[in-house]
Amino acid sequence: MESLSRAQARRVALAAQGFLDPPHAVPTLRTFDRTLARTGVLQVDSVNVLQRAHYMPLYSRMGPYDAHPASGLLARAAERRPRRVVEYWAHVQAFMPVELWPLMQHRMDTYRAGRGKWWKDVDDALVDRVRSAVAAGEGPVTARGLEERLGAGSPRRKDHWGWNWSEVRKVLDYLYMCGELAVAGRNAQFEVRYDVPERVLPASVLALPTPSPQEAVTELVRRAARSHGVASAACLADYYRLRQQPDPRRPGLPSTAVAVQQLVEEGELLSVTVEGWRRPAYLHRDARLPRRVGARTLLSPFDPVVWERDRTEALFDFRYRIEIYTPPHKRVHGYYVLPFLLGDELVARVDLKADRGAADGGLLRVAAAWAEPGAPAATAAELAAELRRLADWLGLAGLAVAPRGDLAPELSAACGAL
């Protein structure tokens, strides 16, 4: 059985995620396709303190690119024909290649068979009305627009926070999770625009055969293995949020364990050991092990490299927790903290905010900056250069470093010297 050091496993993982791909001066749709082939999905999140989550992994790999929400690369891939990507619950809410739609059918069927806690109280009559109204419409519709059309809006409960949806929005989301509706795009307010799949997805995708649930899971595990390079079974399951083990009470349900066994028997996955890992690991047969990785970039909290926190710690010895929903007085590092990748290591973390309302062209604010133990001497200078690149991409004229965190004084001086 092959054995990998932790450093080798890191380089395999980063290569699989596209950090070896040569950058393009002006990234194109071809660059986008190549990058999405590496990551598999782009997680969507509504937090916009810096930049929306689905734009950041592309930046981290491709460098500065056109991210205009209406005309940029992702908008062209998601909303112009031929449509390349579509949103669905692939990891969580995420952009995924359109050809994954049939692989999600088993998940759609699960939602259709059991509504779960989010939709258990939806009115069947309203489900029929919403389904018919969207199908009869002439184009995509938002929940707000459909409420106005149906006169079916309902007041939101005052004692709820977070996802406090109207009944129409809940029904639209239920039909979307069942695959009866698809996301045609989003408007300037980031509201989902729903439509029937026949008006969203290419006919060639709708004509693809639907695999069995286990066939779908096996293909998703195969894709997860390519995107990870090397991973435990738990990490392979997490990539597309799959069931890890068979359920003896429900023998027909697919599982990652069955998929991994099949892919090992077929030689596509190789059993390996990784230094410091307690769990068995699996190396994709096409994974690359480069001598070095020359990355220098910031990773969003929703980047595939760091979204599985145990994996991040096992690969990088980097304990990372998102603190957006943590009360301010309990936060350790800050509200929106991004790890800094230098070479093949996570050497620092910064709490960032895009202050677009600041005078003289806006500011990229560094609310806190922290170095990791053993960070190289050049960390502050390299991070300052990366912050300047990020600010330019975001259209922000200046950098402002607050005096919080052990790296803040040196980083402030380095930013001032740019």
Q: Is residue 93 part of a domain?
A: no
Whether residue 87 is contained in a domain is answered as no
The rounded distance, in Å, linking the Cα atoms of 261 and 236 is 12
Q: 214 and 77: one domain?
A: yes
* List of long-range contacts for 144-147, beta carbons under 8 Å, 24+ apart: 144/191, 146/172, 146/194
Domain boundary among 170, 200, 230: 200
Q: Is residue 309 part of a domain?
A: no
Say whether both 69 and 47 belong to one domain.
yes
Indicate if 159 and 234 belong to the same structural domain: no
- 118 and 159 housed in the same domain: yes
Report yes or no on 220 lying in a domain.
yes
Nearest residue to 15 (alpha-carbon basis) of 326, 364, 342, 287:
287
pLDDT in the model for residue 115: 66
Tell whether 32 is covered by a domain. Answer: yes
- 211 with 277, same domain? yes
Query: What is the structure's pLDDT at 153?
Result: 54
Residues 255, 120 share a domain? no
pLDDT in tens, 180-207: 999 999 999 999 999 999 999 999 999 9
* Residue 133 forms part of a structural domain: yes
Residue 290 lies in a domain: no
Q: What is the DSSP string of 310-347?
A: HHHHHHH-------TTS-GGG-SS-SSEEEEEEETEEE
Please indicate, yes or no, whether residues 215 and 188 belong to a single structural domain of this protein: no
- Convert the pLDDT of each residue in 258-298 to its tens digit: 999 999 999 999 999 999 999 999 999 999 999 999 999 99
Q: Name the residue type at position 302.
A: F
* Sheet with 281-284: strands ordered across: 2-4, 269-274, 281-284, 230-232
- The predicted pLDDT at position 24 comes to 80
Question: What is the three-class DSSP state of 372?
Answer: coil
Beta carbons within 10 angstroms of residue 404's beta carbon: 15
Q: Does residue 82 have a cis peptide bond before it, meaning omega lies within 30 degrees of 0?
A: yes
| Per-residue model confidence (pLDDT) at position 239 | 98
Last residue of a domain, one of 146, 178, 200: 200
* Radius of gyration (C-alpha) of the chain in whole angstroms: 22
> Are 352 and 389 in the same domain?
yes
pLDDT at position 165 is 64
Residue 92 near residue 241 (C-beta atoms within 8 A): yes
Q: Which residue segment(s) compose the domain that 211 sits in? A: 1-81+207-282
Structure tokens at 36: 């999405």
> Within a domain: residue 57?
yes
**What's the number of domains the chain is made of?**
3
Element (H, E) at 26: none
As a dihedral over the C-alpha atoms of residue 47, residue 51, residue 52, residue 58, rounded to 10 degrees, the angle is -150
Residues 3 and 144 in one domain: no
From first to last of the 418 residues of the chain, give the pLDDT tens digit.
Answer: 699 999 999 999 999 999 998 878 899 999 999 999 999 999 999 899 999 999 999 999 999 999 999 999 999 999 888 899 999 999 999 999 999 999 999 999 998 887 666 677 778 899 999 999 999 988 899 999 999 888 765 544 444 434 446 889 999 999 999 999 999 999 999 999 999 999 999 999 999 999 999 999 999 999 999 999 999 999 999 999 999 888 777 777 899 999 999 999 999 999 999 999 999 999 999 999 999 999 999 999 999 999 999 999 999 999 999 999 899 999 999 999 999 999 999 999 999 999 999 989 999 999 999 999 999 999 999 999 999 999 999 999 999 999 999 999 999 999 999 9
Domain limit, last residue, from 200, 232, 263: 200
Q: What gap in Å lies between CA 171 and CA 238, rounded to an integer? A: 27
Residue 334's alpha-carbon distances to 44, 232, 318, 321, in angstroms, are: 21, 30, 16, 10
Q: Both 336 and 406 in a single domain?
A: yes
Helix, strand, or coil (residue 309): helix
Both structure tokens of 92: 């969580």
- My answer on whether 328 and 409 are in the same domain is yes
Which pLDDT value is given to residue 163?
Answer: 43
Decide: residue 388, CB within 10 A, 0-12 exposed, 13-18 middle, 19+ buried: middle
Q: Are residues 196 and 216 in the same domain?
A: no
Quickly count: other Cβ atoms within 10 Å of residue 24's Cβ.
13
- Predicted pLDDT of residue 120: 72
CATH number at residue 109: 1.10.10.10
